[in-house]
């Protein structure tokens, strides 16, 4: 091996060692930095993809009308999301009124965001959205749609953020089941077997006996997700050796997401 090659190998090894020594916060900064650099390409790439899709499906319209339509659609979705939020709050308030007297809650503050890219790798379920630190987005903020919970923010750069979907095995959400006192932890599956990912609701009691169609909401335990957000609907229930486990169909169609809302707080 020539001297130049040995020097190159040593430099490579030294830089590799430096990267391998990164802790969580250095990794966050590194990820955010690279995403910030890629942000213009990602947003323009998303626009290009939409144009291609639009041409492919033969849906062409006047630019002005399209713009107006998009604005109205976003507004409509925002209103529906707020409405859903109100319904979720109402559900929670009603439950608490009966059990613990009542406690007033307010609706969520929402930031509308568009998905610019999704699932960059095989083993993680993520989406990239076109909102970042400048818009008030922070790590661990919940992401929702009018239909229910989508996931949470894991990486934030100035103009772009990455959200981990609720269908990822690493996204764990404390949940409660409608019409019962059962509580558990929802997480995604490591590998999606069908077209639609399913969620697992673990650590239920063996006597839970959940019925298909029962709704599962965030319980608010843990502090990341506010209570009352719809996660999914029970598909099946089985008793395991130590606990009960339910399979859920996500409330949101995660494979066809276009617009989402980031919950920045409560009003």
Phi-psi region of 245 (alpha: psi -120 to 50; beta: other; left: phi over 0): beta
Which among 175, 138, 180 is positioned nearest to 250, based on CA atoms? 175
Contact segment (CB under 8 A) with other proteins among 44-52, 56-64, 88-96, 211-219 equals 44-52
24 contributes a contact to other proteins by CB under 8 A: yes
173 contributes a contact to other proteins by CB under 8 A: no
- Cα pseudo-dihedral 212, 171, 242, 178, rounded to 10: -30
| CB-nearer residue toward other proteins: 102 or 123 | 123
Tell me how far the alpha carbon of residue 94 is from its chain's centroid.
Answer: 27
119 contributes a contact to other proteins by CB under 8 A: yes
| CB-nearer residue toward other proteins: 85 or 226 | 226
Contact segment (CB under 8 A) with other proteins among 41-49, 103-111, 141-149, 243-251 equals 41-49
Q: How many CB atoms lie within 10 A of CB 178?
A: 16
Cα 174 to Cα 163: distance, rounded to the nearest angstrom: 18
Residue 80: Cβ-neighbour burial (10 angstroms; 0-12, 13-18, 19+): middle
14 contributes a contact to other proteins by CB under 8 A: no
CB 204 within 8 A of CB 246: yes
Cα 89 to Cα 174: distance, rounded to the nearest angstrom: 17
Instruction: Candidates 70, 101, 110, 121: give the one binding other proteins (CB under 8 A).
Output: 121
Contact segment (CB under 8 A) with other proteins among 95-103, 174-182, 185-193, 229-237 equals 185-193
Any idea which residue has 């502090």 for tokens?
A: 223
Backbone φ and ψ of 90, nearest 5°: -60, -45
Cα 256 to Cα 190: distance, rounded to the nearest angstrom: 19
Buried residues in 81-98 as b, exposed as e (16+ CB within 10 A) = bbebbeebbebbeebeee
Count the residues of the shown chain that bind other proteins, applying the rule CB under 8 A: 51
117 contributes a contact to other proteins by CB under 8 A: yes
| CB-nearer residue toward other proteins: 100 or 195 | 195
82 contributes a contact to other proteins by CB under 8 A: no
41 contributes a contact to other proteins by CB under 8 A: yes
| CB-nearer residue toward other proteins: 118 or 235 | 118
Helix, strand, coil share (%) of the chain residues, nearest 5: 35, 30, 35
200 contributes a contact to other proteins by CB under 8 A: no
Please state the closest distance from residue 224 (CB atom) to other proteins, in A.
9
| CB-nearer residue toward other proteins: 8 or 79 | 8
Please state the closest distance from residue 80 (CB atom) to other proteins, in A.
26
Return the residues of window 207-266 that contact other proteins according to CB under 8 A.
none
Interacting residues toward other proteins by CB under 8 A: 2, 4-5, 7-9, 12, 15-20, 22-24, 26-28, 30-31, 33-35, 38, 41-42, 45-46, 49, 117-124, 126, 128, 154-155, 164, 169-171, 190-193, 195
């Amino acid at each position: 091996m020539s001297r130049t090659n040995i020097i190159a190998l040593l430099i490579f090894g030294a830089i590799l060692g430096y990267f391998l020594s990164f802790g969580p916060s250095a990794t966050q900064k590194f990820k955010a930095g690279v995403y910030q650099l890629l942000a213009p390409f990602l947003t323009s790439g998303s626009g290009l993809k939409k144009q291609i899709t639009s041409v492919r499906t033969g849906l062409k319209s006047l630019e002005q009308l399209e713009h107006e339509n998009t604005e109205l659609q976003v507004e409509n979705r925002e209103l529906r999301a707020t409405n859903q939020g109100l319904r979720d709050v109402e559900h929670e308030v009603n439950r608490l009124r009966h059990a613990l007297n009542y406690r007033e809650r307010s609706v969520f503050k929402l930031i509308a965001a568009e998905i610019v890219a999704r699932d960059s790798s095989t083993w993680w379920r993520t989406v990239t959205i076109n909102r970042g630190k400048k818009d008030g987005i922070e790590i661990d903020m919940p992401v929702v749609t009018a239909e229910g919970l989508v996931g949470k923010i894991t990486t934030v750069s100035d103009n772009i953020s990455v959200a981990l979907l609720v269908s990822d095995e690493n996204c764990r959400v404390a949940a409660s089941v409608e019409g019962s006192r059962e509580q558990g932890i929802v997480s995604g599956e490591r590998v999606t077997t069908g077209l639609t990912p399913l969620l697992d609701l673990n650590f239920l009691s063996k006597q839970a006996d959940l019925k298909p169609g029962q709704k599962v909401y965030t319980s608010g335990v843990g502090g990341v997700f506010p209570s009352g957000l719809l996660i999914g609907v029970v598909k099946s229930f089985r008793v395991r050796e130590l606990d009960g486990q339910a399979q859920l169909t996500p409330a949101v169609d995660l494979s066809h997401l276009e617009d989402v809302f980031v919950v920045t707080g409560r009003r």
